[in-house]
Each structure stands twice: as structure tokens, then as C-alpha cells.
Structure 1
Amino acid sequence: MLSKAKIKWIHSLDLKKNRTELHLFVAEGHKLVTDLLPIMPCRFLTATAEWLQNHPNIRSAEIVEASLQEITKASNQQHPQEVLAIFEIPDIALDLNKIKNELSLALDNIQDPGNLGTIIRTADWFGINTLFCSIGCVDAFNPKTVQASMGSIARVSVHYLKLEEFLPALSIPIFGTFLEGKNLNEFNNLPEAAVILMGNEGNGISEKLEQIVNEKIYIPKYPAGSKRAESLNVSIATAIVCAAFRK
């Protein structure tokens, strides 16, 4: 049985300050939970009797059998599933020597948790291990971000930093997306070691970060000059740029 106290504890992790203080986050659903279980320490797991019977070897500090109705009370999802778990937020140190020799992503003030989760998933797909976020970005362990990442949050390390100070110190090229940038299709040999900087959903890259960009790039619209969509969703744009770098 899932007690009222446990349900209250789970919902307390909706707030960033509680996630930060307790170093815990919530994951829901069969695929996400089973993806995270082999990689991250699980502090608490609640699931239906049928789910637990089908997964007898799961490892968690605490396991509670519950009805779907009880899990629904603890869930943030519109359509709750048969399992919910609490995982420990990893404390991952930055390996600067490694970062200076590989492709990384940086995000300037991304606000939508779904966008951040999708970008984390995109980074994972393209073999990008590290994501740098400005201090104003949405929390990577927001429940909506975690769900949108589809388990990639366990494989991509996310760090919150003063990008205007940190990125130039890496001494590798910084590419940023701008409407007045060079056509992405005109680049022949994009570097393997670089930072791709993506801007805020509504305002793009801020002026202070524009100053540290070495190369401005632009995703061309087809046909050129047509009056179609004014912009791309930032997660879609990130995927297009990552694909160009991985050619």
C-alpha cells in the first residue's frame, strides 16, 4: 500500500528546491524506469503487483506494492502507468581534458522542460556526452524533462554554469545559431571538438553569449526567401545542427 506520507514525499520532488536538497528525482513508466534501473541508484519504487511479479530481480532501496489508483495519486502524468520510481541525482565531475576533445552542447536559457528533455535525448542519439546549461535554464531533473529524455538523462551529463566564463576557457570553437549566420550546408569539415550553442525559445542567444561565439551558423529555409514558418523549435534545430556535425 502506498501511504499518504509517501505520496506527499513523491509530490515534494515536483519542486526544484526539494530535488536539489534531497538529490532525488522522479521517473514514471515502464520504459523509463527499466532504462534507469541498471544505471542509477534507485531509492524507492512503487508498482502494481503484476509489474513486480514480471520484474522479480529489480534493485531498489525500498519497494512498495500499490494499486494503479494509488500510483495515480502520486503521479504527475496525464495517463499514469504501473510503475513509479525515485532515483538519486548523480554527482558527475567535469573532465575538462575529455571535453576539449569532443563535441558538446550548450544551452542559453531554455525554459520548456519538454524541449530540454528532447535535447538531452538528441544529444544521446548523436553520441554527445556533455550538456552545458546557463544558470537560467529549466532543471534537467524536472519531471517533464526526465520523461521527455526517455532515459537519456542517465547517459548525458548536464552541468549548470556561467557559460560566458566557462565556454571560452575550453579553447575550442563555439558555434551558435543565428538568422544572420553562415548557411549550415556550406560547411564542409566541421570540427569533431567544438561546442554547439543553442538559444532561448523566444529570444535566441543572448548578447553576452553572442560575444563568445566563434562561428555563427544558420539553418536554411526551403525554398530560400519563402514566407513560411518564422522559426524552428529549438529541439528540432538542435537535432539538425548535431546531424551536420556528425556527417
Structure 2
Amino acid sequence: MLSKSQISLLTSLQHKKFRREHGFFLVEGYKSVVEFTGSRYQVDTVYHTGAIAPKMLNLSRKINFQEISAKDIEKISTLKTPQEVIGLVKIPIWPTLNYDSLKQRFSLVLDNIQDPGNMGTIIRTADWFGINDIVCSEDTVDVYNPKVVQATMGSLARVNVHYTNLAQALPQIKLPIFGAMLDGENIYNTPFGTEGLLVMGNEGNGISADIERLITTKITIPRAGHAESLNVAIATAILCSEIKRNSMK
């Protein structure tokens, strides 16, 4: 059984302020927790119900395990249908982004992405296409937001997410910068090459003016129907697929 102070701490992690203050975030669901236990992240404690206790034997003995009631799981979960396993994971202090590590490959750049679901789906998409790094503007949604973590389905354990001042960082990276814009060139006619940065803009406003000035090639997904725009996560998946296809030629 969890104490009131434990419940208070765990529920406070739904908010960025307290995640940063305490240095932890939550991962919900057995599969996602397993992904983090086998990664560079440090899983501090795994809270689980008695029903799923036998599965805990598959996880590292270095982790603290605490069996709690289904009612306590409901109290700390952010999901409408709570999972039977919740992991308390330490927020790591990553080294400063090494720009040279981004060369000879493609990386994503996110400019003020705000929706947690979109952010999580983009991270999962990056993992699918073998993209190791995502560079985010400082005002992009927090990667440890519970909805972001849930939407990644464990992919956050494998993808590096960096936050920085994009206007200062992008010129220093010195790679081709492709920006998703409505007035860009057809992606199916674009020679992407083997390295570069793909910039995706805010859901409502697109790429900001100070970042647009740094783009070397504006690209667009050709429209065949009448929809005004594509969801940013879907657009990212289409663009990543085309970049990957180009690299396999």
C-alpha cells in the first residue's frame, strides 16, 4: 500500500515543474516499462498489482519492486484504463549535443510542437525509421509529459531528444536543412542525399520565421485531395519514409 506522501509525489509528476524538481517521470504499461529497464535510463521503482507479479520475475533484480493495490494504481495513473504496471524512471542528465554526431545521417528538428500525442508519435516514428536524434526548440512540449511517454510506446528509451535554441544551433550543425512547408518542392522529386535535418513546425503556425530563414530546401507532400493540411505526426511519417526510401537507392 502506498502512503499519502508517496501518492502525492507520484501524482505530482504529471506536471513538468515537479518532474524537474524531483528528477523523475512515470512510464505506464508492462511493455513500455520493459523497454526502459533494458535501456540507458535508470528505472528506480516498478509499482505493480498482485495479478501481474509473476511477470516481474522477468525484469532486472537491480530494480525496486513494490506491489500495490489496483486502487493505488488508479490514483497515480494518468490513463482512463490504468495499466497494472507503472515505472518510476530517473530523468537523466544528457551530455551537451555533439553536432558532429548528427552527420552522415538524418535527424529530426521540431519547432514548437505542442500536442503530447503528436510528440510521442513522432518519437515512435523516428524509432521505426532508425532516426536516433530529435532536436527540439525550447518551447516544444516536454518529452517526459505522461501523454508523450505513453504515445511513444517505449520508443523514447531508444531515441535521443535534445532541447536547444534552434536559431543558434542549426547554423552550427552545418548540414542541409529540409523544412516541411506548403509552398515547398515535391518530396518525390527531391534529392535528399544521405545526411541532413528535417524540420517540422508547430501544429497551427508551421515553422517559425527565424527558423524558416535557415532552411536550405523547402519541401512539401503533394496534395491529391481537398484537405487543408496534414497532421504533423502523419506528415513526419510520410517524409521519413521518403527520406529512407531515397537512402536505399
Specify if TM > 0.5.
yes
Secondary structure of residue in 2 paired with 1:180: strand
Of 196, 204, 207, which residue of structure 1 is paired with 2:206? 204
CA distance in 2, matches of 1:16, 1:231: 30
CA distance in 2, matches of 1:197, 1:203: 13
CA distance in 2, matches of 1:153, 1:55: 21
Unaligned runs of 5+ in 2: none
Contact 1:110 1:199 in 2 (8 A): yes
Secondary structure of residue in 2 paired with 1:246: helix
Unaligned runs of 5+ in 1: none
CA distance in 2, matches of 1:149, 1:206: 25
2:233 corresponds in structure 1 to 235
Q: Does 1:100 align with 2:103?
A: yes
Backbone CA RMSD of aligned residues: 1.3
Contact 2:134 2:159 in 1 (8 A): yes
1:194 corresponds in structure 2 to 196
2:140 corresponds in structure 1 to 137
Of 56, 71, 74, which residue of structure 2 is paired with 1:72? 74
- Say how many residue pairs are matched: 242
Deviation, structure 1 residue 177: 0.9
Secondary structure of residue in 2 paired with 1:56: helix
Matches within 5 A, 1:1-247: 1-39=1-39, 40-59=41-60, 61-93=63-95, 94-187=97-190, 189-222=191-224, 226=225, 228-247=226-245
Deviation, structure 1 residue 22: 2.3
TM-score (norm 2): 0.93
CA distance in 2, matches of 1:55, 1:64: 10
CA distance in 2, matches of 1:46, 1:31: 14
Contact 2:100 2:173 in 1 (8 A): no
C-alpha deviations, 1:185-217, integer Å up to 9, x for none?
112x31221000000000000111100000000
Contact 1:68 1:81 in 2 (8 A): no
Deviation, structure 1 residue 35: 1.5
CA distance in 2, matches of 1:18, 1:101: 38
Deviation, structure 1 residue 96: 2.3
Change (3 A) 1:79 1:145: same
Mean alpha-carbon deviation: is it higher for 98-107 or for 87-96? 87-96
Deviation, structure 1 residue 127: 0.6
- In structure 2, give the amino acid aligned to 1:204: G
| Percent identity of equivalent pairs | 45
Deviation, structure 1 residue 61: 4.4
- In structure 2, give the amino acid aligned to 1:8: S
Runs of 4+ in 1 over 3 A off after TM superposition: none
- In structure 2, give the amino acid aligned to 1:16: K
CA distance in 2, matches of 1:113, 1:174: 24
TM-score (norm 1): 0.94
